[in-house]
């Protein structure tokens, strides 16, 4: 499993060429990636960056066509990052919510952003930023598609400092209590609180665990 380095560059991967890029580099690369389809002469959609408000190591880049709706974006975020118990979600701040039937291309412009909340109890709060227009056609008949994503962030065991693979939801108060394969045995009496680490800002929250292989980014 590929993980981010300790450089704070928050590395991730391009879906098309499978090459590694930093969080800062990825937008420029997507515009010029040689493994993509030929650019159209006209704008075909929007490129969006999705980020956690507090955990800077998590990032997801998606592209939309001109007809994608916020419901499509909600479905994608749920599928990739947050879905655990079918909680409610919303776009926009309190009192200025944006309906999920609205078309993204008609609502956002490059440079604008909108907040996203999943679960109004143990909330995961994200921000969606319109990075720019895109001239690339999406794969197949998709209206929205993930095109780049962060690698698994580094996590160190709270007991011994080695690479962690699990979280004890009961032991962590202000911060998540990461555990390695050896030290997790000390928490056997809290088995129902020990979760597998996920490549998601919701990791360890409300019982959230990865739904597929951590080797697979897309």
CA nearest neighbour of 129 among 78, 81, 73, 71: 73
pTM of the model: 0.92
Indicate if the pLDDT at residue 106 is higher than 80: yes
Indicate if the pLDDT at residue 109 is higher than 90: yes
Residues in the chain: 218
Q: For residue 200, what pLDDT is reported?
A: 96
CA nearest neighbour of 165 among 183, 148, 178: 178
Give the pLDDT band (50/70/90) at residue 78: very high
- Which residue has better confidence, 37 or 134? 134
CA nearest neighbour of 65 among 87, 43, 82, 49: 43
Q: For residue 90, what pLDDT is reported?
A: 98
């Amino acid at each position: 499993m590929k993980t981010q380095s300790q450089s704070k560059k928050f590395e991730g991967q391009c879906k098309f060429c499978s090459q590694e890029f930093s969080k800062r580099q990825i937008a420029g690369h997507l515009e010029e990636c040689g493994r993509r389809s030929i650019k159209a002469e006209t704008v075909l959609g929007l490129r969006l960056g999705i980020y956690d408000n507090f955990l800077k190591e998590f990032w997801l880049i998606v592209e939309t066509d001109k007809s994608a709706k916020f419901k499509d974006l909600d479905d994608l975020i749920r599928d990739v990052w947050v879905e655990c118990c079918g909680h409610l979600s919303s776009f926009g701040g309190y009192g200025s919510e944006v309906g999920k039937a609205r078309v993204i291309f008609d609502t956002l412009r490059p440079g604008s952003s909108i907040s996203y909340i999943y679960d109004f109890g143990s909330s995961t709060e994200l921000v969606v930023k319109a990075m720019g227009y895109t001239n690339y056609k999406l794969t197949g008949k998709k209206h929205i598609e993930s095109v780049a994503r962060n690698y698994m962030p580094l996590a160190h065991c709270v007991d011994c400092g080695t690479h962690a693979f699990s979280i004890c939801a009961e032991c962590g108060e202000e911060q998540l209590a990461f555990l390695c394969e050896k030290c997790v045995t000390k928490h056997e009496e809290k088995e129902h609180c020990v979760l597998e680490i996920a490549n998601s800002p919701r990791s360890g929250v409300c019982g959230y665990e990865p739904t597929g292989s951590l080797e697979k980014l897309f």
